[in-house]
Amino acid sequence: MDKFTKLTSSAIPLSIENVDTDQIIPARFLKATSREGFGENLFKDWRFQKDGSINSDFVFNNSTYKGRILVAGDNFGCGSSREHAAWAIHDYGFKVVVSSFFADIFKGNALNNGVLPVQVSPEYLQELFNEIEKDPNTKIEVDLETQKIIISSTGSSSDFEINSYKKTCLLNGYDDIDFLISNKEAIEVFENNRT
Amino acid sequence: MKKTLFDKVWDAHVVKEVQDGPQVLYIDKHLIHEVTSPQAFGELEQRGIPVFRPNQIVATADHNTPTVDQHLPVKDDLSRNQLSRLTANCEKNNITLYGLGHQYNGIVHVIAPELGITQPGMTMVCGDSHTSTHGAFGTIAFGIGTSQVAQVFASQCLLLQKPKSLRVSVNGTLKPGVLPKDVILYIIAKLGTNAGTGYFCEYAGNVFQEMSMEGRMTVCNMSIEMGARGGMIAPDEITFEYVKGRKFAPQGEEFEKKVAYWKTLPTDEGAVFDKEYHFDAADIEPMITYGTNPGMGIKISENIPVEHNASFEKSLAYMNFEKGQSLIDQKVNFVFIGSCTNSRIEDFRVAAHFIKGKKKADNVTAWFVPGSQQVAQQIVSEGLNEVFEEAGFKLRQPGCSACLAMNDDKIPEGEYCVSTSNRNFEGRQGQGARTILASPLVAAATAIEGKIIDITKQLN
C-alpha cells in the first residue's frame, strides 16, 4: 500500500451530497478481475453523456479545477461495499478526499488503499468550497502526522480524527494482512477454546 | 453489566485487542461471489499466502449472471471470464461453490439462510453491503471491501473498531397492506441515509417479533441504506423454527444445545444503547421512493415534499418529478420483483395473491426473479407460477438481475421502474433509468395497472 504523510495540492470541488458508490464507479465496470484501470471510469456517467461525449457541466471536466484532493459534499461514498470505488479514486490520482461525513465501508476501503478520508465540520467544508470557488488554485495542506488540514492562503485550519492504528499503517504503508497473519497463533488458540 | 444482543455476539468473537486500536474479530462464515473476490484471491496468490479456513467459506455466482438461458455459455466475455475465475479460484482453494445451474445457486443473501448456513450468534461477512440481511437471525453480519475479503481469506479474522449501538423500536399494529419493506422504507425516510453510520442497529418491538424470517431479512437487508453496517433482530422461536432441519443447520442434540445458547443472546433488559428511536406501527403506510437515495421515501398517498437545496433538486430533475407532486397515476412501464431484499417465497406469495385472476397491463415489462433455485422450485410447487402465467407474467432464473445493472437485465434510459430492490441511485438499474422502490405488493399492483395506484384504497 502507498504511504501517506503529507500533501499540498489544489482541489476539485464536488459539492453534491450523498455521492454513492454507484456514481463513483457504476456496476457495469465491476467485471474486471484486477485492481487496475478503474480511474478511467471514475464518475463515468457524470463525466460523460450517454453517447460518450464530454459533459462539460461536470466539475471534473472544468480545467480550472485540478489537484490530488477531492472535496465532496456530506455522506460521501454511501451505498455498495465495492472497493472498486476506492480503487477508481486512487487510480484517477486522488490521495485525499475531504467531506463532512463518510460512509463506513468507503472510509475503510479508502484507508486500505492509501487514500486518506479527511472528515471536517460542515462549516469548514463550506469554507473550503468558498475558498476554492474564489480561487481554484487554492492550495490545501493535509498533514497526517499532526492530523491537520490547512487552507494555505488564509491559514484557516481544522483538526481531523483518525484511529491511531490506521494512522501508523498509512504513515508506513502497512496493511492489515501482515498484522493478522502475525496473530495466527492467537487465532488458533481462540478456535480451539470455542465450544 | 447489561449487554445488548450485539455486545454478546461481538464479545464472543474477539480474539484480541490492539492497544488504542481495533480488535481482532473472528469470522465464522465468509460468503463470496464473483465480483468482489477475484482481486482478493489475486492478492493472496501474489503474496504466497494460503486460504486459512476454506471450509468456512461458501461461494455463489449471482451478480454478473444472466436470468435466462443459464444452461448456455454466458454471452458477455468479461462476465464469463469473471465467473470462470470464481470457479477456478474455488477449485484451487477447496471452497464450496454453488455456481450457475447448481440446485443451491442463487443470490448470496438468499441461499445462506435457506441452506441453514446462517445461524444465530454467528459473525458473517461478504464483499457485499447487503450482508446485513443475515442479521435477521441475531447474527453480526456486514459487508466488507475486497482488501478485507483478502484478510478473512488469510486469517479468518478482521481488524475492526467496535461500532456504536443503535436501537429502532416499532410497536403497535401494522395497517393492512403494510409489508416489512414498507416498515424499513419508512424508518429510512424518517432517519435519513446516514443516521446509522458508525452504528450497528437492533430492531426491536412487537412488529419485528411478529414478523416472519423472510420479513426480518427484508428489514435487516436495508440497514446499510441508513448507513448502519448491520442490523439485528433477537433470535426467538420463529428463528429456531426456520433454522431447524435445514441442510447445514445443527441436528438433533447439537441443535438443542445451540438453541439453549441462542436463547441467551437477546438484549438484557436495561441495557443501554448509544442512540434509540421509537416509531408507531399505525403511522406506517405502503411506501414509495421519489428520489435518488432510499431515504427519499413517502407514503404512497403523500405528495413529494418541497425542499430547497441543490442535491434535492438534482435528484428530482433526474427522476423528472416536481416538488409537491403526487405519484398516484404515474405511468410506469417496468416492474422488477426480485433482489436480495425481496425475492423470497413470501414476496412471490404476496404478489401472486394480488395478481390472481387479474391481467398484466399491456404497457408493462415485468421481471419476476426468484432469489434462488430453491425459491424458484417452491414457486412452482405452490402453484404460484400458474397464477403469474395466467396473468401474463413469466418467471426468470435466479440472480441479482435488475437490481444493479451489471448483468443483461437493465431498465432503459428515462423509464420508470417500480422495483422491490434496495437502491434507487442514479443509474442503478441502467444508465438513465429511474427507480421507484416499493414492496412486492405495490410492485404487483403497478404491474397490473400499468401505473402507480393508491393500494390502500383497494385494501380498505
In the stretch 326-345 of chain B, residues with CB closer than 8 A to chain A read none
Q: For B29-80, what is the HEC assignment? A: EEEEECCCCHHHHHHHHHHCCCCCCHHHEEEECCCCCCCCCCCCCCCCHHHH
From A179, which residue of chain B is nearest by alpha-carbon distance?
Answer: B159
Fold (topology level) of B5-275: Aconitase; domain 3 (3.30.499)
Minimum distance, in Å, between the CA of residue A27 and any CA atom of chain B: 5
Decide if B43 contacts A34 (C-beta within 8 A): no
- B449 inside 8 A of chain A by CB: no
Q: Please compute the mean of the pLDDT values over residues B111-117 and round it to a whole number.
A: 98
- pLDDT for the residue B21: 80
pLDDT at A61 over 90: yes
Tens-place pLDDT, residues B182-235: 999 999 999 999 999 999 999 999 999 999 999 999 999 999 999 999 999 999
A109-132 residues labelled b (16+ CB within 10 A) or e (exposed): bbbbbbbbbbbbeeebbebbbebb
By Cβ distance, the residue of B24, B81, B145 closest to A81 is B145
In the stretch 61-120 of chain A, residues with CB closer than 8 A to chain B read 73-75, 78-84, 86, 101-105, 108-109, 112-113
Which residues in chain A have their CB less than 8 angstroms from residue B400's CB?
Answer: none
Which residues in chain B have their CB less than 8 angstroms from residue A176's CB?
Answer: 147-148, 151, 158-159
Q: Where in chain B is the domain with CATH 3.30.499.10?
A: 5-275, 303-459
Q: What is the mean pLDDT of chain A?
A: 96
pLDDT at A195 over 90: no
Tens-place pLDDT, residues B358-373: 999 999 999 999 999 9
Write the CATH number of the domain with boundaries B303-459.
Answer: 3.30.499.10
In the stretch 183-242 of chain B, residues with CB closer than 8 A to chain A read 193-194, 197-198, 224, 227, 229
- pLDDT for the residue B221: 98
In the stretch 408-427 of chain B, residues with CB closer than 8 A to chain A read 413, 423, 425-427
Confidence of residue A2 (pLDDT cuts 50, 70, 90): confident
Confidence of residue A194 (pLDDT cuts 50, 70, 90): confident
Contact A23 B15 (CB under 8 A): no
Q: What is the mean pLDDT of chain B?
A: 97
In the stretch 21-50 of chain A, residues with CB closer than 8 A to chain B read 22-23, 26-28, 30-35, 45, 50
CA distances from B87 to A32, B39, B101, B117, B127 (A): 15, 14, 13, 20, 17
CA distances from B248 to A75, A182, B117, B233, B255 (A): 39, 32, 6, 21, 11
Tens-place pLDDT, residues B47-59: 999 999 999 999 9
Task: Give CA angle at B402 (B396, B406), nearest 5°.
Answer: 115
Decide if A86 contacts A112 (C-beta within 8 A): yes
pLDDT at B165 over 70: yes
The neighbouring-strand residues paired with B171 are B280
- pLDDT for the residue B460: 62
Distance between CA atoms of residues A109 and B158, nearest Å: 13
Confidence of residue B18 (pLDDT cuts 50, 70, 90): confident
- B264 inside 8 A of chain A by CB: no
Q: Please compute the mean of the pLDDT values over residues A31-50 and round it to a whole number.
A: 95
- pLDDT for the residue B19: 79
Confidence of residue A177 (pLDDT cuts 50, 70, 90): very high
For chains A and B, CB pairs below 8 A equal 180
Q: Please compute the mean of the pLDDT values over residues B62-83 and round it to a whole number.
A: 96
Which residues in chain B have their CB less than 8 angstroms from residue A17's CB?
Answer: 311
Tens-place pLDDT, residues B279-338: 999 999 999 999 999 999 999 999 999 999 999 999 999 999 999 999 999 999 999 999
pLDDT at A93 over 90: yes
Nearest to B346 by CA among B455, B449, B444: B444
Which residues in chain B have their CB less than 8 angstroms from residue A29's CB?
Answer: none
Percent of all residues in chain B with a pLDDT value above 70, rounded to a whole number: 100
Q: Crossing angle for the helix pair A164-172 and A104-111, nearest 10 degrees?
A: 40
Q: Please compute the mean of the pLDDT values over residues B97-106 and round it to a whole number.
A: 97
Single-letter amino acid code for the residue at B211: M
pTM of the predicted model as reported, rounded to 2 decimal places: 0.96
Mutate to test the interface with B, among A17, A33, A35 (most CBs of B within 10 A): A33
Percent of all residues in chain A with a pLDDT value above 90, rounded to a whole number: 95
pLDDT at B425 over 80: yes
Tens-place pLDDT, residues A113-144: 999 999 999 999 999 999 999 999 999 999 99
Q: Which element (helix H / strand E) includes B320?
A: none
Distance between CA atoms of residues B139 and B418, nearest Å: 31
Phi/psi region, residue A77 (left: phi>0; alpha: psi -120 to 50; beta: rest), is left
Distance between CA atoms of residues B234 and B304, nearest Å: 35
